[in-house]
Structure 1
Amino acid sequence: MASPLLDPSRVSTPPAGAEVALREEVAQLRQEAERLRRLLETAAQVTWSTNPARDALAPISPSWTTFTGQTEEQMRNQGWLLALHPDDRAGALAAWERAREGTQPFATRYRLRRVDGAYVWMLARSIPVLGPDGSVHEWVGTCIDIQAQVLGEERAAFLARASELFASSLDASATQESLASLANLSVSALADWCIVDVLRADGHFERVQVVSADPSQAPLAATVQRLTPVPRERPVYPPAVALATGRSTLATEVTDAVMQSVAQDADHLETMRRVGIRSLLTVPIMARGHILGALSFLVTTSSRRYGDEDLRFAQELANLAGLAVDNARLLQGAREAIRLRDEFLSVASHELKTPLTPLSLKLQALSRAVKSHPDSPLVPIIEAHVETGHRQVRRLTELMNDLLDVSRISAGTFRLQREEVDVAEVVREVAATFAPRFVLEHCEFQVEAPESVRGCFDRVRLAQVLDHLLDNALKYGPGTPVSVRLVADGPVARLTVRDGGIGISPEQRPRLFERYCRAVSERHYGGLGLGLYLTRTIVEAEGGRVSLDSRLGEGATFMVELPLTRS
């Protein structure tokens, strides 16, 4: 197709003496026009122009005719729009009319129907050719195939949506729901039908979702879902092949002979015929080398046929699904392990507390017996051993109680028994029980509290909070000053425990109140890492909060704020 700017018919007649030169110039122009035409055809699938001598709205384009099958006559009176996808016609026409009204370049994207009936995304561009008077003589344009680019954009967007679905799947049931949602997404973008098979916890495969793009096919979809995906000894049915061997299947063209060759039985064959499969691909859902399920995509209504690129994309999608399913199962396994651990700790705590009671009674009896023989030289030695025994029994009892509290929190049975409490009195009582221990550790110990600070709290749990904080100060600040200060500030009571011990590094502080968390090595310091976790749990259950201010090597200050009034 010659460019209108290089059309020899538009060259004015020269004087007779220049005829030879004119012919040479015309020949050169024709060669240049042919070169430009071939260059343009190389760059674009379709080229076109309007003929100003006929109808400015009727494109002239042999390449359009070749691509779409439309004749020049069919293109007249906006007939070229009929070769566009119905959803793209209005937008293309509006863009074309805006360009013509303002003599601006025309550019838009639309799906153009190929002669075989398949739609291909095109980037359509056109510019006006202006005459000496500034009026538009004609329009020349191109249509460039951008199918691969648009398909890449659509698939990237699809994978992003699928990733969002799976990112919200934190357990097995949510992941199964996400797989169902993925099937619904797929029938709008990848297939006319989507089938999802997954491995259940009992080791059997289950067909969890079958979706058809046509809602009227719901009864047939239910029939397909009832088909068993269980692999046979030598499977040939594509989903069964994926589930049994982890191999993908790509059937570009599914004929009746193909359906007969893969049918598991007569009912299965009849169902496949009713579905009307034309093209199919199945990919396994796998993670860490294990087969977790399969995704099957079917084309039944359009001329689309799956190819290698579709297979690669489907496998990428299956990899996302496999990661989500595997993560959900790992999470479920971890939760079950935690449940069993907490159950064991609860049982163990009860069992370990059982011998502690008679041991404590025996120590008390021994203490009374020793006191009945005050003149014996063994009395001081025995009393020292008895006191050590009492301390260890109390320590074991506290550890067992902590473990029981953790199991109650995990089971959701942790409860507070609130009553009218004098917080200052509780502080003094707990401090008094710790005073001898601070003396043994050569710690200067100060307690500052007003005469009375009253509120509604669980007295035992409140004492437990201070007990854990003082035990923490004693453990990590031996030989350093430790202070306890209680103040009432309007509707809030503030309890501060400060030590001059080893301190806590900044990176450890955010996780210090978590269960079993320790900021130091267990080889140098005892404990289960539960004291601060229980402190936070109790304080927050009372409607308060606990905070920490510490620097490594400069001690630590814990502040507990508790509401003295409740709404």
Structure 2
Amino acid sequence: MTSPLVKPDGPFAPATSAEAALREEVALLRQEAERLRRLLETAATVTWTDRLDDARSPLSPSWTAFTGQPTEQLRNRGWLQAVHPDDREGALAAWEQATAAKQLFSTRYRLRRADGTYVWMLARGMPVLGPDGAVREWVGTCIDIQAQALGEERAAFLARASELFSSSLDAGATLASLANLSVGKLADWCIVDVLHPDGHFERVQVVTEDPALTSLAAAVQQLPPVPRERPVYPPAVALATGRSTVVPEVTDALMEAVAQDVNHLVAMRTLGMRSLLTVPLLARGHILGALTFLVTTSGRRYGDEDLQFAQELANLAALAVDNARLLQGARDAIRLRDEFLSVASHELKTPLTPLSLKLQALSRAVKAHPDSPLAPVIEAHVETGHRQVRRLTELMNDLLDVSRISAGTFRLQREDVDVAEVVREAAARFAPRFAVEHCDFRVEAPEPVHGSFDRSRLAQVLDHLLDNALKYGAGTPVSLGLVVDGSRVRITVRDGGIGISKEQRPRLFERYGRAVSERHYGGLGLGLYLTRTIVEAEGGSVSVDSRLGEGATFEVELPLTRP
């Protein structure tokens, strides 16, 4: 009788094909999990887990290795202690929102490295759900985005600096803005040294992030760099040679080597410098100054990237300072020119008075001998002399007015004025001149038109407009008109002369503005500028309508009543 087959049992029983397949699948899953783990650790700076059944939260060897936090410090959200204090509130809020909704956790924060340096991280995490839909654990990564964040921060800093530089055309204000903007963002201290155009050096700004160190900052400001023949102190090197200096780690031996004197060494030691960066301010090949950034309290250390960024910032600042200096130079030149014109006008007018008196005396002498055959000839020459003296006097007065306008001393003396009477008086003065130039001169002025104006300035406006019509419209009809329109009065001067091109019209009322070559037409180019200044000071406006070759019409509009 054959015995029945007995299936072996126990640990030494041969495996079935199903069990072998299962073990093979488990091994493959373990290999895949290990591969994914290694891939994740390669892609991320830090990986972390948060197991809800484990009080140690989060738990990750890479987290501990990066931050230096021991496992026992991770309990009760102790991981937040490794996050920058300014970023903790936002990181916690993002975490609580994600855990409450069982959704993606994603935020940016600065994570403290084991050496004390903060690094920008992109933190992301996902919940792992069980069969019942409950969260079993959280898994996540922290990816280093320091370069990206630093680039964004620096771009924003440069944009802000450019905005500040463009808001002021004063070199001192520009450098003060730069120093205050830099402290806290780029450095604990910022020192600004300036090389003035006359060759002397000045320490113009010393700014510290700590208000309690104001007195120390004042002491540092009293220690300006004095470049020697072979300077070694970084600001002095920048000012003398235009070279930059970056010192990642400042040692006491280095401070002793670069100190300019004992007081300087004491000041540097008191500051407690840890890292230093100095860049020159360069513009158009000239050294304008130097910027020095100091780290005294934080763990930051300057490197080549910081040097490159600081030089870019210094270039922007140097351009702003150079523009401010150029503008100031132009203003000084204009001031000196106006002062010269004022003095020259007075000096030139001085001999005109006795000359005018001599011409008057000569005219009286000629009239006393009417029978003399030379009387008509002398009288004609005397009249020509009078006319030229008046013309020269008008030019000197125009130059004096320009000086008054530039100095802010130009004033109006208003009184009750009959505008029509002023128009007729101006027409009477110019009628003989128009007759000599064979111009058909017509005047239209109504009955008295009263308003509050500076009579002499109003007459000056008419003189300039009529003189302009005489100069550019000689031999053509010229008209002077006065029209009342409600509470305003309009004065028009029209000629049929050479006209003005469209391109030249915008600059016609500017100082020294001309629409034609000075070789063919005289004058200083001030008449229409003074006309606009006077009319606008009276609350009115002046405009021109003209086409090249078709004459010009100037219109002055003035208010008859004032608020």
TM-score, normalising length from structure 2?
A: 0.91
Match of 1:308 among 304, 309, 314: 304
Question: CA deviation digits over 1:410-444, x for unaligned, max 9?
Answer: 22332223222111001011012222333333433
Partners of 2:63 and 2:254 lie apart in 1 by 37
Partners of 1:60 and 1:282 lie apart in 2 by 43
Q: CA deviation at 1:321?
A: 2.0
Match of residue 170 from structure 1: 169
Which deviates further from its counterpart, 351-360 or 191-200? 351-360
Match of residue 46 from structure 1: 46
**2:480 and 2:493 in contact (8 A); partners too:** yes
Partners of 1:435 and 1:30 lie apart in 2 by 113
**1:281 and 1:296 in contact (8 A); partners too:** yes
Partners of 1:103 and 1:448 lie apart in 2 by 90
Q: CA deviation at 1:514?
A: 1.8
TM-score, normalising length from structure 1?
A: 0.90
Match of residue 109 from structure 1: 108
Partners of 1:213 and 1:366 lie apart in 2 by 81
Partners of 2:47 and 2:494 lie apart in 1 by 83
Partners of 2:520 and 2:494 lie apart in 1 by 21
Is residue 432 of structure 2 the alignment partner of residue 436 of structure 1? yes
Match of residue 179 from structure 1: 175
Match of residue 484 from structure 1: 480
Match of residue 268 from structure 1: 264
Q: CA deviation at 1:404?
A: 1.3
Question: CA deviation digits over 1:498-549, x for unaligned, max 9?
Answer: 2333433444333322211122322232211111111111122223222333
Segments of structure 2 that go 5 or more residues without pairing to the other structure are 1-14
**1:204 and 1:230 in contact (8 A); partners too:** no
CA 1:233–1:448: 2 relative to 1, 3 Å: same
CA 1:497–1:129: 2 relative to 1, 3 Å: farther
Match of residue 32 from structure 2: 32
Partners of 1:392 and 1:33 lie apart in 2 by 106
Q: How many residues align?
A: 549
Match of 2:229 among 223, 230, 233: 233
CA 1:209–1:90: 2 relative to 1, 3 Å: same
**Paired residue type of 2:477:** P
CA 1:144–1:519: 2 relative to 1, 3 Å: farther
CA 1:497–1:24: 2 relative to 1, 3 Å: farther
CA 1:38–1:556: 2 relative to 1, 3 Å: farther
Match of residue 20 from structure 1: 20
Match of 1:205 among 197, 201, 214: 201
**Paired residue type of 2:311:** Q
Question: CA deviation digits over 1:222-265, x for unaligned, max 9?
Answer: 22111132222322111111122221111111011111111112
Match of 2:249 among 237, 250, 253: 253
Partners of 1:51 and 1:30 lie apart in 2 by 20
Segments of structure 1 that go 5 or more residues without pairing to the other structure are 1-14
Secondary structure of 1:420's counterpart equals strand
**Paired residue type of 1:212:** T
Match of residue 3 from structure 1: none
Question: CA deviation digits over 1:294-352, x for unaligned, max 9?
Answer: 11111111211111111111112222222222222222211111111111112222222
Partners of 2:154 and 2:89 lie apart in 1 by 25
Match of 2:508 among 491, 508, 512: 512
Partners of 1:341 and 1:307 lie apart in 2 by 50
The alignment's C-alpha RMSD in Å is: 2.4
**Paired residue type of 1:98:** Q
Match of residue 119 from structure 2: 120
Q: CA deviation at 1:154?
A: 1.8
**Paired residue type of 1:124:** A
Partners of 1:16 and 1:447 lie apart in 2 by 127
Q: CA deviation at 1:116?
A: 0.7
Secondary structure of 1:355's counterpart equals helix
**1:198 and 1:207 in contact (8 A); partners too:** yes
Is residue 418 of structure 2 the alignment partner of residue 418 of structure 1? no
Match of residue 275 from structure 2: 279
**2:174 and 2:321 in contact (8 A); partners too:** no
Q: CA deviation at 1:121?
A: 0.8
Question: CA deviation digits over 1:245-287, x for unaligned, max 9?
Answer: 2211111110111111111122221221111111111111222
Match of residue 561 from structure 2: 565
Secondary structure of 1:471's counterpart equals helix
Q: CA deviation at 1:160?
A: 2.2
**2:174 and 2:320 in contact (8 A); partners too:** no
Which deviates further from its counterpart, 383-392 or 109-118? 383-392
**Paired residue type of 2:214:** A
Match of residue 544 from structure 1: 540
Match of residue 90 from structure 2: 91
Secondary structure of 1:311's counterpart equals helix
Q: CA deviation at 1:147?
A: 1.2
Partners of 2:341 and 2:19 lie apart in 1 by 109
Partners of 1:265 and 1:512 lie apart in 2 by 62
**2:193 and 2:224 in contact (8 A); partners too:** no
CA 1:19–1:440: 2 relative to 1, 3 Å: farther
Is residue 111 of structure 2 the alignment partner of residue 129 of structure 1? no
Q: CA deviation at 1:211?
A: 1.7
Q: Of the two, which has the highest radius of gyration?
A: 2
Is residue 325 of structure 2 the alignment partner of residue 329 of structure 1? yes
Partners of 2:41 and 2:543 lie apart in 1 by 73
